[in-house]
Structure 1
Amino acid sequence: MQGSPILEIDLDKITFNTSQVVERCHRKGIEVIGVTKGFSAIHQIVSAMVAGGIDGLADSRMENIVELREKGFTQPITLLRIPRLSNVMKVVQYTDTSINSEISVIKALAQAAKQLGKIHRIILMVDVGDLREGVLQENVLDMAKRFTSFKEIKLIGLGTNMGCFGGILPSSNNLGVLVELGRAVENELNLKLEIISGGGTSTLLLIENEQVPAGVNQLRIGEGILLGTDTTNNRKIPWLHHDAFHLRAEVIEVKSKPSVPTGIIGRDAFGNIPEFEDLGVRKRAIVSMGKQDVNIKGIHPVDESLKIMGASSDHLIIDIEDSEHEVKVGGVIAFSLAYSGLLSVSDSRYVRKLFKGNCGPTTNTT
């Protein structure tokens, strides 16, 4: 282990998951954009997605996108967060497409594109119920008309977001609304939209059930490719790998202790008042990892008999009383990850990354 927690990444499984998602979507005439924000656009993982046949890349952080370009990735890249007015020049310089809903930002993008001698492509985001970004449905035509005054901007499609704020699931109804709005824009402006972007991993269930409306031709997939899970629909996707990532941390203490602290309970180091169930004396282990390394709500011991009791910034306490395997100091406990866990741990400089698969066994510290 060499001390630090390790995130093990199986690149072959990510490539396989990518190829499976791409194949199923392509059968329906839907392109797949690989979302890289969930793992801080670590370039080895991006390469595994590319090897799986991804049609393009997308990220919400310009820092990640700039790094991808500097690493030599030439695939089309979409900025998945509405551009900031303060960085429109970089958006035009490093991305092919951005999602938008604010006319002041679009105007600034047009000015930046003019200075750089480029045409910047835009997907207009439409709010069909999740209440994150996007114009309201009744304002779509008016907003689309305003695009025509910007020669350096090309409206290439409509998109929507599902599940990230309001938890709204994609359906044939709300995606059908997006398709109909796209047709209305085409008729009103006498143009052909290239893209109707119908959400992300949660829309894969509609593909499986043959319920995606005709006209949706792009999905933005991150979680499904990486973890083989669909948090919004609360399921594991049965035709994908679920174990491309494992987090391993070293045990630094094993002791039997009461399950309830002794004394007056105040707030913990994070301002919360902890609650404890009295289960008597329990055997427990501490591993060298905590909230500064990973969102502990997004990890689960691979050994299901182990239970996470809680954590401080750099200690994770685990109930091992019911384990059939010996847990001892110097040993290692393995964890699977949910999307929130992967999102946090991938960016932790305290967790080493170990890559296995198509690029060979390699490590880095970031």
Structure 2
Amino acid sequence: MDAYPRLCIHLDRIRENAARVAERCRAHGIAVCAVTKGISADLNAARAMLEGGCDAFADSRIRNLIRLEEAFPAVDRFLLRIPMRSELEAVVRTASCSTVSMIEAVEALEAECAAQGKTHRALLMFDLGDRREGILEEEMEAFVRAFKRCPRVKLHGVGANFACFAGALPSAGALERLASARSFMEDGLGYAVPVCSGGETSSLKLLEEGTLPRDVNHLRVGEAILLGGDVAWQRAIPWLRQDTVELEAQVIEAREKPSRPEGPIGPDAFGRVQTFEDRGRRLRAILGIGRQDLPVEGLRPLDESVEVLGGSSDHTLLDVGGRPAVTRWGDVLRFGVDYGAMLSLSTSPYVARACFEDGREVRAVPRGGRSGSAPEACCPFGPP
């Protein structure tokens, strides 16, 4: 019934991006963890990322990791977001490795591992400037003692996050500090800590420029593969494709109207007071999708004569007065999406999905179903 709006996922293009990222990274001894959260761990997209050469999956939601485990049981699964206490049973049962930044979490994971008779691998996150998750370097000794007290939770790597909260960009200096932290933890614990996870898509720029420290041997990459972009450095990555994920939405009204509102102006439905340029009467179109489904500012009309004016909860308003073809009720318009829009659209239950190979729509895997056998992949986290 819900044919539109729909998110169109071009699997061949995502596979191509994954192959290009994996090839560049492997040439420098770097494993690529495919971050699937931006597309809500769509199993078709995940398979394309794996087939392109990614080594493992990473996601911030346990529910997504469970689905990935069901579909690709041989592939490692990395929990990106630090787990909540209420998630620990599922984390130990499902995740191959998880991020930690609190001693209490390490101790709680140890207790859960004992209850399940398992061991667990941890990636200790360091805050190197972005001021999101992660410990400060002055806390390392305390974490050495914590891991020594918790033999079932083995430190398998150190990691850092960049450009997600404060916008702090990765740098060679920051990543050299991360490599030094790994050496400190190895010396203190008396065993190898094999993974130095040097960030996300934003760190690819350092790889391109030849400034990524040699000790970085792991990156967590989502946006570059899924969209060919890098919001941190405000660029389309020139050696990747950007025509990978698109939105198709249907016009529910098309009418010429004055461009300025009438009467006193107050806040809109989301509490913002807007200003409007008087452009006279213009042909406007309304799409049957809105802010409940995505931040409409994240839409990029593929027809350059279309302009996104804004949106309410269930409507997106467009100026289509410059279109060569007359816009009519029932028309379907196409848009590129940024990362935030893709994330929201893939999460919304009101948005359908369609998968394409070489421009042809293909049968999609159900959102909650198995995808069948998965190709083998190298697992950068090693055996459990």
TM (norm. structure 1) is 0.96
Partner of 1:303, secondary structure, is coil
What residue in structure 2 maps to residue 135 of structure 1?
135
Structure 2 letter corresponding to 1:314: D
Shift of 1:364: 7.5
Q: Confirm or deny: 8 A CA contact 2:297 2:310 kept in the other structure.
A: no
Report the Cα offset of residue 253 of structure 1.
1.7
- Change in Cα spacing, 1:57 to 1:2, as seen in structure 2 (3 Å) is closer
User: Matches of residues 281-360 of structure 1 in structure 2 within 5 Å?
Assistant: 281-357=281-357
- Whole-angstrom CA distance in 2 between matches of 1:11 and 1:194: 32
Structure-2 change in CA distance of 1:149 and 1:365 (3 Å): closer
Deviates more, 1:353-362 or 1:200-209: 353-362
295-304 vs 92-101, greater mean Cα deviation = 295-304
Task: Answer yes or no: is the 8 Å Cα contact 1:12–1:48 preserved in 2.
Answer: yes
Q: 1:77 to 1:260 in 2, by over 3 A?
A: same
- 1:361 matched to 2:366? The reply is no
Paired residue for 1:158? 158
Q: Give, in angstroms, the shift of residue 30 of structure 1.
A: 0.5
Moved more, 177-186 or 227-236: 177-186
SS of 2:32's partner is strand
2:181 corresponds in structure 1 to: 181
Q: Which residue of 1 aligns with 2:378?
A: none
- Structure 2 counterpart SS, 1:241: coil
1: CA distance, partners of 2:240 / 2:90: 36
Aligned partner of residue 328 in structure 1, secondary structure: coil
Letter in 1 for 2:128: V
Give the equivalent residue in structure 2 for 1:147: 147
Aligned twin of 1:95: 95
Matched residue of 2:149: which SS? coil
Hey, what's the Cα distance between the residues in 1 that align with 2:146 and 2:238? 44
Match of 1:245 in 2: 245
Contact map agreement 2:2 2:350 (CA 8 A) in 1: no
- Percent identical residues: 41
SS for the counterpart of 1:148 is helix
Q: For 1:168, what is the secondary structure of its paired residue? A: coil
Q: Is the CA contact (8 Å cut-off) linking 1:353 and 1:364 kept in structure 2?
A: no
Give the letter aligned to residue 42 of structure 2: I
Match of 2:190 in 1: 190
Compute the displacement of 1:141 (Å). Answer: 3.1
C-alpha distance in 2, partners of 1:360/1:312?
31
Write the distance in 1 (CA, Å) between the matches of 2:144 and 2:237: 36
Partner SS, residue 135 of structure 1: coil
Structure 2: which 5+ residue stretches go unaligned?
Answer: 368-384
In the alignment, the residues of structure 1 paired with residue 5 and residue 329 of structure 2 have an alpha-carbon distance, to the nearest angstrom, of 15
Alpha-carbon distance, 1:330 to partner: 1.8
Letter in 1 for 2:234: N
Correspondence list, 1:251-262, <5 A: 251-262=251-262
- Report the residue type matching 1:232 in the other structure: A
Q: Give the Cα–Cα distance (whole angstroms) in 1 for the partners of residues 190 and 151 of structure 2.
A: 16
SS at match of 2:114: helix
| Structure 1 residue 363 displacement after superposition | 5.0
Contact in 1 for aligned 2:2/2:351 (Cα 8 Å): no
Amino acid in the other structure paired with 1:97: C
Alpha-carbon distance change, 325 to 250 in structure 1, aligned in 2, over 3 angstroms:
same
CA 1:299–1:73 in 2, change beyond 3 Å: closer, same or farther?
Answer: farther
Alignment RMSD: 1.7
Tell me by how many angstroms 1:246 deviates. 1.1
8 A contact 1:266–1:273 mirrored in 2? yes
Q: Tell which deviates more after alignment, 244-253 or 193-202.
A: 244-253
Whole-Å separation in 1 of the counterparts to 2:33 and 2:69: 16
Moved more, 143-152 or 350-359: 350-359
**Offset, 1:69:** 1.8
| Distance in 2 separating the partners of 1:179 and 1:211 | 14
**Letter of the structure 2 residue corresponding to residue 78 of structure 1:** F
Distance 2:187 2:38 in 1: 37
Higher relative contact order (CA 8 A, sep 6+): 2
In 2: Cα distance, 1:361 partner to 1:86 partner: 38
Which residue number corresponds to residue 232 of structure 2?
A: 232
**Which range moves more in the overlay, 35-44 or 319-328?**
319-328
Q: What's the offset of the Cα at 1:333? A: 1.1
**Cα separation, partners in 2 of 1:334 and 1:134, compared to 1, 3 Å:** same
Where does structure 1 differ by over 6 angstroms across 4 or more consecutive aligned residues? none
